[in-house]
Amino acid sequence: MRLDERYVPYLQMAGLYHLARLNDRWFRLDEPLVSAFVERWRLETHTFHMPFGECTITLQDVAYQLGLPVDGHYVSGCLTDFHLYIEGGRPAWQWFHELLGVLPPENQVQKFAVNCTWFHETFGDCPDGADEETVRRFARAYIMMLLGTQLFANKSDNRIHIRWLPYVARLEEMGGYSWGSAALAWLYWCMCRVANRYAVKLAGPLQLLQSWIFWRFPSFRPTGYDEISWPLSSRWSGYNPGISNKGPRVQMTRLKIDLLQPRDFIWMPYSALDVIQVVHPEVLEPRHTMLWRCVTSLIYFAVVEWHQVDRVLPQFGGVQPPRVPP
């Protein structure tokens, strides 16, 4: 969905403006690359086990790559009995109508999820000259699409769950949530799930994973993408790896990973001067930065995953002590 400038004030108060700016600049997913890296993921430690040691995606990476806040309330709530959770005990779809001004047809609804196609057709373009309440409704729909497809996509990736109603009902309070930690929890969970041999499709914010790979592993980085802008994942805008030779490319990527040396990994990519020049000041506020090094739980509704940065201290300029066998 196109980012209408009239939505910007609502996105800013929701803490999602930087993510929304990426909406028109997402790059194509390199499936063989991502698949080969996920094979190195260990659900017991939430780290990639590489020949040179362990590394992982942290809250610091989420803040720099997507520009999301990592400090705030955890993102959670009710997923089924909405009448118990919604103000006044109103039925969920009544609240949907009040907030968005329209109800989807029955053939566009599956339980508590609405087809993305209907969202696109209904809220794709906000009318010229729309009053403030109409713009607010379209902004709510835009945010629901942004969260449901770009940040918390599931395997189907074609429906939007109405779990976001309690959040878009109070746009002024959305900025108080830790969207960054929720996104990282969802990515961790998705990678842990696909580590199960019976899971065949990876979901989650995979552009975050791929951008992290490009920033941390120069040997896997595409050429010709030297311009750095904010958020940092926008650097790869327009990248399209193609879809041919997936099998051989997975094998080649596995071989390259097996040959990696410590010098092939950039432990602190965000300390470079060209990065510092574009970083949004809000990301560097102490209330955010102090959480980057915390061993803590990451929460996204029923998903709870551990942020085990004590295993990757060199990513923060520290020295990793040797592991003592149990």
**Residue 42 token pair:** 């260990």
Handedness of CA 31, 37, 40, 41 (dihedral sign): negative
Q: pLDDT value at position 2?
A: 87
List pLDDT tens digits, range 34-68: 999 999 999 999 999 999 999 999 999 999 999 99
Give 102's strand partners. Answer: none
Angle between helices 92-100 and 132-145 in degrees, nearest 10: 120
Cβ(116)–Cβ(144) below 8 Å: no
Q: What is the pLDDT of residue 202?
A: 81
Q: Nearest-CA neighbor of 217 among 62, 57, 66?
A: 57
- Which residue has tokens 């118990």? 84
Question: For residue 153, what pLDDT is reported?
Answer: 87
Predicted pLDDT of residue 84? 63
pLDDT of residue 326: 61
Contact call for residues 124 and 2 (beta carbons, < 8 A): yes
Secondary structure class of 130 (helix, strand, coil)? coil
Question: How far apart are the C-alpha atoms of 303 and 104, rounded to whole Å?
Answer: 29
* pLDDT at residue number 158: 85
CA distance 177 to 168: 12
CB 77 within 8 A of CB 87: no
Contact between 7 and 142 (Cβ < 8 Å)? yes
Listed by start position, the domains of the chain span 27-72+179-314, 82-176
pLDDT of 86: 62
User: Which pair of tokens denotes residue 46?
Assistant: 């939430």
Tokens representing 84 are: 């118990």
- The predicted-structure confidence for 106-157, as pLDDT tens digits, reads as follows 999 988 899 999 999 999 999 999 999 999 999 999 999 999 998 998 876 6
Contact assessment for residue 100 and residue 107, using Cβ atoms and an 8 Å cutoff: no
| Residue of 204, 113, 198 whose CA lies nearest to 151 | 204
CA distance linking residue 146 with residue 125, whole number of Å: 15
Q: How many C-beta atoms lie closer than 10 Å to residue 127's C-beta?
A: 9
Burial of 55 (0-12, 13-18, 19+ CB in 10 A): buried
Low-confidence ranges of the chain (pLDDT < 50): none
Under 8 Å CB-to-CB from 15, ≥6 apart: which residues? 68, 69, 72, 174, 175, 176, 177, 179
Does residue 140 contact residue 99 with C-beta atoms inside 8 Å? yes
Contact (CB, 8 A) for 208 and 37: no
